[in-house]
Amino acid sequence: MPEHEKSTLRICVWIFLACSILFAGLTRGHFISTDEINVYQAARSLWEKGDLSVTTTTGVPGRDGKIHSYFSSGQSVAALPLYGLGKAIRLALESMGRQDWAPVFAGHPEDRKETGDRWGGDVEIFFVNLFNSFVTALLCAVFFAFSSRLGVSTGWSLVATALFTLSSYIIPFSAGFFQHSSEALLVLWSFYLLFRDKQHPSWKARFAAGAVAAVLIQFRFASVFALPGLAFYHLWVVRERRPPALPLSLYLSSALRQMLPFFGIVALGLLVHCADQYVKFGTFHLTGDYGKLGFNTPLYVGLFGLLLSPGDSIFIFTPLLVLLPWTLSLFGRRHPAEAYYLIFQSLFYILTYAAFDTWEGLWCFGPRYLSHLCPLLLLPLGPWMEHTGRRAWFPVAPLAIAGLWMQAIHFAVNFWYVDLYVKYPDFQPPHAFLFIPQFSPVIAHGRALLAGDGRVDMWLVNVYRDFGAGRFLIIAVPLLLIFVFCIYRIIRNFCSAEASATATVACGSSTDSSAPCRPASEGPAATRRPAFGLPVVLTVLCLACWGFFLKAVYSRPSNATERNPFQVTSTAVEEKRARTPEDFLSESYIHYQAGRYLESIRAANEALKLNPAYDNAYNNICASYNQLGLWDEAIAACNRAISINPDNQLARNNLAWALERKTGAGKGSGERRLDGVE
């Protein structure tokens, strides 16, 4: 292996380790979507029972009489080591008598009263939720390797990778268990291997690219939409290899031999997916939502939403993509086949999902169905910045700051909590909030982060809230030290690679062994190194401007509802208006679900100040006191709720629970009610 490739590989390893630590520290620690719980329950059943059955209500009856997830099984299988690790750590803590540390690693308890599913609060869930931390870290490493193989210098490849890591929409998916991180990694990796085969033809590279594409199908079947683009690129490369003087008919057999390693293993992957479907459901047809949904959305609605809407535009969630007309233009001149692939893949996905019934990707933050396009479309950024030099920072710095803010609110804020708080399902017409700036999730998430209330939902933040600064520092400080060490190793390897490249440029072209080695900067072969002085200044200025912008946007009162062309009717209005008892009740519910029972009581009391006869507020107080083991207070609150509304069944259930626990001298007080609050 050449020294340059060894250096690139070493940097890739340290990038992977650094990003793994970073994303693990930013994880949420529990699930927020039925997609995640379906995939997790399949992994749990595979470990515990040896099958793929699930208990969630969104599952589909299978041929064995059990309920199965309609999602592909690949990610469930891949997450098994993390499930086993989580279970081993939980058992180890119990055997050592340190059960008090289990809640630290378990994340916040998250129960769904409507389905009875457990979405958080288990050590196994926490560790399985770390799966995407490692997948996204590997994605960053592959992005760097690809940028380097495109001919970009090590320094500019690191700059492009840092920008991708800090301001790309796909990165915050590392905090959850969605399948989009795996999709982005496997699409980019397969493309990288095919590009490597283009540079150095090898059946092994083509076979590896096909194997990665086959695994892609096992992780998310909807990723089959990525196969036409990869096939298009591979056929283009094979066609380019034909000698000009050789007739196509004579070249056909050689072309088929070149295509067989890739297409053969992809076909095998499709067969494996069909077998998985047959084992679970006894049919090869799509089931569940995959079998019900179609392509019935007017194309102009989906295109406007995915490209231009204030609530779902890919350009808002990854602002650096605004530079595509310039970055892709230079990229196309240097790498025409790769540029055509990027255009083909992007158009194919955008046009396909624009017509999809659920084109918006709810309920999730942003256009998640397009998330895997972010690493692909940011690949031209490195070559363009290296070519442009210091001037590139003038557009890049403000866009990167905007992207960093978008990823911060994506990482920090729980979309489900925002949904409860703002009541997005009440909007009429449905999803209209995506098209109106004042009501878009971007604004709602920003306000939630600036408010710093229970909607901010991160593992380490919750550790600090629930256990104090001591345990927070015990976890955060080692993670920070390891992260800093990894960054130090990246810088050391970068300096070594630069020194090696300088020596090669200075001496490699000389035929006279006695000729003195000149500095690389003296000759035309010198490469332009990234300058960091200007970007630092621009970044500070952009941060200041961004602060004023945030203050203006998130603090400005709005009367947009009156002049709204969509005529939105919703219980969700601007936070600047007077809050209603229902608002405080929703806040109380959010705190209860997050395990912050005192905060839940406080919010319910605020609702009672506005409406003293609000029985559901008393019920929430009762449920929270139950969780705290304060039975007398719980009984008093439930009695007040029942006296106001004798038909409040939740209050009656919670009263019965409090009376039972009180007479039982508090036995089992740590158990949770799944239907405790309204």
For the residues 447-457, what does the mean pLDDT come to?
87
Query: How far is Cα 529 from Cα 8, in angstroms, rounded to an integer?
Result: 17
CA neighbor of 602 nearest in space, from 576, 623, 621: 621
Residue 483 lies in a domain: no
Same domain, residue pair 226 and 255: yes
Task: Look at residue 544 in the predicted model and tell me its pLDDT.
Answer: 56
Same domain, residue pair 178 and 264: yes
Q: Which is it for the CA torsion 49, 51, 52, 57, positive or negative?
A: negative
User: Is residue 277 predicted with pLDDT exceeding 80?
Assistant: yes
| Cβ neighbours of residue 159 closer than 8 Å, sequence gap 6 or more | 382, 385, 530
CA neighbor of 412 nearest in space, from 367, 368, 371, 445: 445
For the residues 555-561, what does the mean pLDDT come to?
39
Q: Which of 41-50, 114-123, 308-317, 440-449 has the lowest mean pLDDT?
A: 114-123
For residue 60, what is the DSSP state?
Answer: E
Same domain, residue pair 273 and 214: yes
Q: Which of 29-38, 54-63, 374-383, 608-617 has the lowest mean pLDDT?
A: 54-63
The verdict on whether omega for the bond into residue 429 sits within 30 degrees of 0, i.e. cis, is yes
Please indicate whether residue 80 or residue 562 has the higher confidence score (pLDDT): 80
User: Is residue 632 predicted with pLDDT exceeding 60?
Assistant: yes
Task: Look at residue 524 in the predicted model and tell me its pLDDT.
Answer: 35
Phi-psi region for residue 121, left (φ > 0), alpha (ψ -120 to 50) or beta? left
Task: Count structural domains, the chain.
Answer: 4
Task: Look at residue 537 in the predicted model and tell me its pLDDT.
Answer: 54
The domain boundary residue, chosen from 108, 129, 150: 129
Task: Look at residue 177 in the predicted model and tell me its pLDDT.
Answer: 92
Query: How far is Cα 535 from Cα 454, in angstroms, rounded to an integer?
Result: 35
pLDDT tens profile 35-82:
888 899 999 999 999 888 888 777 788 887 888 888 889 999 999 999
Task: Look at residue 542 in the predicted model and tell me its pLDDT.
Answer: 57
Query: How far is Cα 497 from Cα 203, in angstroms, rounded to an integer?
Result: 30
Q: Where are the beta strands (DSSP E) in 184-318?
A: none
Same domain, residue pair 339 and 422: no
The domain boundary residue, chosen from 350, 384, 412: 412
CA neighbor of 591 nearest in space, from 454, 412, 447: 454
For the residues 229-242, what does the mean pLDDT come to?
89
Q: Which of 83-87, 149-153, 552-556, 605-609 has the lowest mean pLDDT?
A: 552-556
Task: Look at residue 436 in the predicted model and tell me its pLDDT.
Answer: 86
The domain boundary residue, chosen from 397, 412, 427: 412
CATH code, domain with 619: 1.25.40.10
For the residues 609-625, what does the mean pLDDT come to?
89
Q: Which is it for the CA torsion 355, 356, 357, 363, positive or negative?
A: negative
Residue 19 lies in a domain: no
Same domain, residue pair 253 and 384: yes
Q: 456-471 burial, b for 16+ CB within 10 Å, e for fewer?
A: bbbbbbbbbbebeeeb
Residue 676 lies in a domain: no
What percent of the chain stands above pLDDT 70? 83
Please indicate whether residue 572 or residue 417 has the higher confidence score (pLDDT): 417
User: Is residue 501 predicted with pLDDT exceeding 80?
Assistant: no
User: Is residue 550 predicted with pLDDT exceeding 60?
Assistant: no
Terminal alpha carbon distance of the chain: 63
User: Is residue 392 predicted with pLDDT exceeding 80?
Assistant: yes
Same domain, residue pair 236 and 99: no
> Do 39 and 518 form a contact (C-beta atoms < 8 A)?
no
For the residues 396-407, what does the mean pLDDT come to?
93
Query: How far is Cα 403 from Cα 397, in angstroms, rounded to an integer?
Result: 10
User: Is residue 596 predicted with pLDDT exceeding 60?
Assistant: yes
For the chain, the average pLDDT equals: 82
User: Is residue 373 predicted with pLDDT exceeding 90?
Assistant: yes
Task: Look at residue 503 in the predicted model and tell me its pLDDT.
Answer: 59
The total of other beta-carbon atoms located within 10 Å of residue 447's CB is 23
Please indicate whether residue 15 or residue 438 has the higher confidence score (pLDDT): 15
Q: How confident is the model at residue 526 (pLDDT cuts 50, 70, 90)?
A: very low
Residue 14 lies in a domain: no
Same domain, residue pair 45 and 164: no
Task: Convert 299-328 into a string of H (helix), E (strand) and C (coil).
Answer: HHHHHHHHHCCCCCCHHHHCHHHHHHHHHH
User: Is residue 354 predicted with pLDDT exceeding 80?
Assistant: yes
Q: 599-611 burial, b for 16+ CB within 10 Å, e for fewer?
A: bbbbbbebbbeee
Q: How confident is the model at residue 502 (pLDDT cuts 50, 70, 90)?
A: low
| Cβ neighbours of residue 46 closer than 8 Å, sequence gap 6 or more | 52, 76, 77, 80
Residue 15 lies in a domain: no
Q: In the structure encoding, which two tokens stand for residue 102, read together? A: 């289990």
Same domain, residue pair 384 and 449: no
Residue 619 lies in a domain: yes
Q: How confident is the model at residue 336 (pLDDT cuts 50, 70, 90)?
A: very high
Query: How far is Cα 455 from Cα 464, in angstroms, rounded to an integer?
Result: 15
Residue 447 lies in a domain: yes
> Do 120 and 108 form a contact (C-beta atoms < 8 A)?
yes
User: Is residue 169 predicted with pLDDT exceeding 90?
Assistant: yes
Task: Look at residue 78 in the predicted model and tell me its pLDDT.
Answer: 95
User: Is residue 446 predicted with pLDDT exceeding 80?
Assistant: yes
Q: How confident is the model at residue 243 (pLDDT cuts 50, 70, 90)?
A: confident
Query: How far is Cα 514 from Cα 509, in angstroms, rounded to an integer?
Result: 13
Task: Look at residue 105 in the predicted model and tell me its pLDDT.
Answer: 84
For residue 63, what is the DSSP state?
Answer: T
Pairing of strands 118-120, 110-111: antiparallel
CA neighbor of 456 nearest in space, from 409, 490, 510: 409
> Do 139 and 16 form a contact (C-beta atoms < 8 A)?
no
pLDDT tens profile 173-196:
999 999 999 999 999 999 999 999
Same domain, residue pair 139 and 175: yes
Q: What is the DSSP string of 140-183?
A: HHHHHHHHHHTT--HHHHHHHHHHHHHH-TTGGGGGS--SHHHH
Same domain, residue pair 188 and 256: yes
For residue 111, what is the DSSP state?
Answer: E
Query: How far is Cα 356 from Cα 362, in angstroms, rounded to an integer?
Result: 12
User: Is residue 419 predicted with pLDDT exceeding 60?
Assistant: yes
Residue 526 lies in a domain: no
User: Is residue 154 predicted with pLDDT exceeding 50?
Assistant: yes
For residue 569, what is the DSSP state?
Answer: B
How many angstroms from the chain centroid is the CA of residue 395?
Answer: 26
Backbone angles phi, psi at 232, to 5 degrees: -60, -45
- Cα distances from 60 to residues 57, 117, 271, 528, in angstroms, run 8, 16, 21, 57
What domain range includes position 634? Answer: 581-663
> Do 518 and 376 form a contact (C-beta atoms < 8 A)?
no
Same domain, residue pair 314 and 333: yes
Same domain, residue pair 191 and 77: no
Q: How confident is the model at residue 85 (pLDDT cuts 50, 70, 90)?
A: very high
